[in-house]
Structure 1
Amino acid sequence: MKEFAQLITSLDQSTKTSEKVNALKNYFLSADDKDKIWTLALFTDRKPQRAVTTSLLKDWVIEWVGIPEWLFQESYHVVGDLAETIALLMALKESFEHQIDKPLSHYIDTLIELKNKNNNEKKARLHLIYEELDSQERFVFTKIITGGWRVGVSQNLMTKALSQTFEIDQSIVAHRLMGKWSPENFTFHDLILEESNNDLASRPYPFYLAHPITTAEIQINLNPLEWQAEWKWDGIRGQIIKRNDEVFIWSRGEELVTDKFPELEAMAKHLPNGIVLDGEITAFENGEPLSFALLQTRIGRKNITKNLLKKAPVAFICYDLIEYDGKDIRSNSLENRSQLLKNLIKEAKDPVLIPSQSIKFSDWTELIEIRKKSRRLKTEGLMLKKKDSLYESGRKRGNWWKWKIAPLTIDGIMIYAQKGHGRRADLYSDYTFAVWDEDELVPFAKAYSGLTDAEMKKVDAFVKKNTKEKFGPVRTVKPELVFEIAFEGIQESNRHKSGIALRFPRIKRWRKDKPINEANKLTDLQELLQKYG
């Protein structure tokens, strides 16, 4: 545990990718194999099932430390992170030097065992654990319980570190990390070092992701004869796998969603074995895409009823074919893969399997005009793919680009603020914005990204000087600051007072030039909803 806690400290204190990679390499070279596999699990969102609720944990810490609940809450609001708050408070009870150094896996095994114990047993065992750990180890242990790592370790960074440590091709490591594996049924050697004997039939490939590109960059740097264009559809990026007469549907977030889309599963059952398709799961009917909100109703339900299937029909708009006849064909050219895909879809003859058609154009000027139809067609813009490109892993520059249309914008007034997490734990950095409905301010969106550090500090100072009311961690502030909010989509919502929900809202800029009476109105949002919803 001490070694893992030191790793977390090193990762948290570094902002350089090379330093993070070196910290991970050093850890993987020295750590126990069982600790290695659990480290992979924790950093790829495969933490053990929660053994105790945060509410119970908070109550027990209050009792152990001997403080009133209000003091715990005030401490939490100042610190902004539950695990750090608990670690700091428990440090008040330290009475001996911490010489115990049990493996990370020991503590995770304990949490797994506690899952089926009663609360008194959980409380007693956790108290003993907290007493034998030092402050940093308590912080890490609490994070294992509650989740929410914020140390800047992406799966791509983990892949790079493992590739360099064990001298395995990065794309192979990325592939082995994908899929529904668990430290409870895989060893580190089986998962990472074994060539392929233990690969799961359900395992997807790492997705190939594109960087954004501007119109000016396209016109200057790219030869139109070497590129093909496709619409960038708005849905859930996914892979459909058919192997050994079984079908698996994965989202880009590595969630197995086969049961959410039975019509796609039924379609895939008629495909030949050894097939992996990459595409977009999209709400779709009568040859046209529907709103993303309809698609979300499928994801949020445990049971997919006949009524829901009828109300929110879907299709799979297929971008690429990355496994064919059981062979990895990612190293084939895009043109070759596209031809194989075209033949496959033609033979399948299923209305829910739709090819992503290449758009014909002669030069960039013509394609710029075509791109103007994006929002009307309910797409996010265009994808540009080099005709001879391979299917790579992760986000790479050069062969695939996303050429998105400009986001929609609205000017809103900040009315609520809340402190952030991690390095923003002492700053009011999460905001709620409102628009005018006659003389009333109606909240319509929350956002926490888009400001510079300097701007955030100024907003934080404003919040502290202009707080009107307090509701736990939330502050009602004087309506004075106007911000331009950018967003990708707009839809109706019964859960919001405004009746509207925005997709991917973020702060575009601080409108210091605008008084609050010039902020947008609810009717402006409703007009956007009529036009683009």
Structure 2
Amino acid sequence: MKAFAQLLELLALTPSRNRKIAALAEYFAKTPDPDRGYALAVLTGALSFRNVKPAKLKEIVLGEVDPHLFALSYDYVGDLGETIALIWPHHGGTEELPSLTDLIELFNTTSKGELPRLISSLLTRAEINERWAVVKLATGALRIGVSARLAKTALAEMSGKDLQAIEEVWHGLRIPYAELFTWLEDRGERPDIDHAARFHPMMLSNPIDEARDLEKLDPADFSAEWKWDGIRVQLVAARGNVSLFSRTGDDIGPAFPDVVEAMMGDAVLDGELLVGADFAPGPFNDLQQRLNRKVASPKHLKDLPAFVRVYDMLFDGSEDIRALEWTERRARLEAFFTRHRQTRLDLSEVLDFGDWPTLAEHRRRGADEHGHEGVMVKLRTSPYVPGRPKGLWYKWKRDPNLVDAILMYAQRGHGKRSSFYSDFTFGVWKGNEIVPIGKAYFGFTDAELKQLDKWVRTHTLQAFGPVREVEKSLVFEVAFDSAQESARHKSGVALRFPRINRIRWDKPAGEAATLEEMQVFIGAT
């Protein structure tokens, strides 16, 4: 556990991507099985075990620490794990902690009633950095700037294996990845994973630079489709079994049985998950009601039917066709739809255009009239390559919507931002009242973050733990992709992908937008 705690501390404090990769590679090379396998699962979010709720941790700490002191400390530090690690009153380092493998087993097998005693014992035995690691592990909220992709890159660095080769087998492996490390260390063969039993890494696009890219790209070499406002999914169907994966490889099939059970034919398909009757997509907010659920309710199945708009094919039956050009894969896909009548799958439309101005007009009208996110532009000769290769696929998103909103609340960030107020809730006028319409935590520079943090501290009205209510006088120009009606929000409005476009230090709050003005954006989607 000591080595894992040191790794987490280094990863959290190191902004350098290369340094993180080196630290991960060194840890995986030196740590024995199965600890390194469980560490890999924890870091990539692949491990599911009984997490301890933050409220329970606070309760444990408040049994040992003055509540007022804890509240002041938590407000200053901003991170629960770091606060507990620093404030726990009992001296640690007196006894070795269990290994990472044993610790995970303890969390899984200890009864709910015994968990507080276990946590207290671990915190007392641990040194400061180990306490922080225990809390992070217990809550399942690492937030240390490590993605699954970064961890796999470190495995490639450690072993000399190709990153794509690791991606190819990743989703067919089982924790604690013994066969993966056997292969990486040349002690065994590459794991043989049936294509029908796993997720396949997706091909991603790059944003198009209108000034630079359109000047050098020949429109005759590219095809175009709408960019749909849903979530990217992969359908894997073979020998009577069908799986539905999110873009991160999570199996979401149980939440969308209407799609899975209706799939006909054997193939691996790439597309967009949407909701709506008769293949007419509804707003993203409708889809959101069905996401992050283990199972679909009968009401959702009836009122919010799901379907997949398919735009690519990776396997035609058992044949891997990813090396074929896009035009050949598209022909195979169209033939597949001819052979297999689908009730919950349809083909994404290929747009007709001869030059970039014509496609730009498609893009504008699609956004204005149908709420499309923009267009996808794909090289006709491109193979299906995992990752984000340059020059093959582009996304040309519609221009963002802009609204002037008023800062209402600020909350401390996490990780390297834990000392700054960096999460901002903003709102618009509803008569003489300001109602919240969204929250954003990016879109500003580091220098602007320091300015905002200072402003929040000097304009605070009330403090609620890590959250501060501020004077309603600072205006943000907020960019967002779309807006929908939402009964879950006090304003009745939900924004899609809000981000801070500009800080309007010059603009009076009285000139910010009104809720009535937001209806224009809702009507556009």
User: TM range, normalised to the smaller chain?
Assistant: over 0.9
Partner of 1:412: 405
Deviations 1:248-288 (CA, angstroms, capped at 9, x unpaired): 001113321112222211222x213xx21010011233453
1:80-137: per-residue Cα shift (whole Å, max 9, x none)? Answer: 11111111112x4216x557365321222222221xx252x33333333223321111
Say which is worse superposed, 197-206 or 214-223, in terms of deviation. Answer: 197-206
Q: 1:167 aligns with which of 144, 151, 160?
A: 160
Q: Are residue 310 (structure 1) and residue 310 (structure 2) matched?
A: no
SS in 1 for 2:143: coil
Q: Give the distance between the partners of 1:150 and 1:118, measured in 2 at CA.
A: 25
Change (3 A) 1:2 1:445: same
Give aligned pairs, total. Answer: 521
Q: Which one-letter code corresponds to 1:362 in the other structure? A: G
Q: 1:68 aligns with which of 43, 66, 78?
A: 66
* Structure 2 gaps, min length 5: none
Task: Rate the CA distance shift 1:468–1:129 in 2: closer, same or farther, 3 A.
Answer: closer
Aligned to 1:299: 291
Q: 1:280 aligns with which of 272, 275, 279?
A: 272
Structure 1 unmatched runs, 5+ = none
Task: Check 1:328–1:171 CA distance in 2 against 1; reply closer, same or farther (3 A cut).
Answer: farther
Which whole-Å CA distance do the structure 1 matches of 2:292 and 2:6 have between them?
38
Structure 1 vs Structure 2 CA RMSD: 2.2
User: Residue 227 of structure 1 aligns to which amino acid in structure 2?
Assistant: F
SS in 1 for 2:74: helix
Residue matched to 1:217:
212
Partner secondary structure for residue 374 of structure 1: helix
How much has 1:346 moved relative to structure 2?
1.5
Looking at structure 1, the residues matched to 489 and 14 of structure 2 have their Cα atoms a distance apart, in angstroms, of 39
Q: CA deviation at 1:39?
A: 1.5
**Equivalent residue for 1:94?**
91
Q: Is the 8 A contact 1:285 1:313 kept in 2?
A: yes
Judging changes above 3 Å, is the alpha-carbon distance between structure 1 residues 531 and 450 closer, same or farther for their aligned structure 2 residues? same
Q: Percent identity?
A: 36
The answer on 1:240 being equivalent to 2:238 is no
- Given the superposition, is the C-alpha separation of residues 167 and 328 from structure 1 closer, same or farther in structure 2, using an over 3 Å criterion? farther
Would you say 1:517 and 2:514 are equivalent positions? no
Q: CA deviation at 1:191?
A: 8.7
- TM-score of the two chains, using structure 1 as the length reference: 0.92
Distance in 2 between residues matched to 1:396 and 1:88, nearest whole Å: 44
CA, structure 1 residues 307+54, in 2 after alignment: closer, same or farther (shift >3 Å)? closer
The alignment status of 1:104 with 2:100, answered yes or no, reads: yes
Q: Choose from 311, 328, 341 the match for 2:333.
A: 341
Label 1:194 to 1:82 Cα distance change in 2 as closer, same or farther (>3 A).
farther
Q: Which stretch shows the higher mean deviation, 160-169 or 29-38?
A: 160-169
Q: State the alpha-carbon separation in 2 of the partners of residues 511 and 180 from structure 1.
A: 50
Q: Which residue of 2 aligns with 1:202?
A: 197
What letter matches 1:28 in structure 2? F
Task: Give the CA deviation at 1:329.
Answer: 2.3
CA contact (8 A) 1:48 1:112 kept: no
Give the TM-score normalised by the residue count of structure 2: 0.93
Alignment pair present for 1:271 and 2:271 = no
| Residue in 1 that maps onto 2:281 | 289
Match of 1:429 in 2: 422
The answer (yes or no) to whether the contact 1:487–1:506 under 8 Å persists in 2 is: yes
CA distance, structure 1, for counterparts of residue 4 and residue 274 of structure 2: 41
For the 8 Å contact 2:224–2:376, the answer to whether it is kept is yes
**Is this contact kept in 1: 2:45–2:148, CA < 8 A?**
no
Could you tell me how far 1:188 is from its partner in structure 2?
A: 4.7
Aligned to 2:384: 391
1:465 equivalenced with 2:465 (yes/no): no
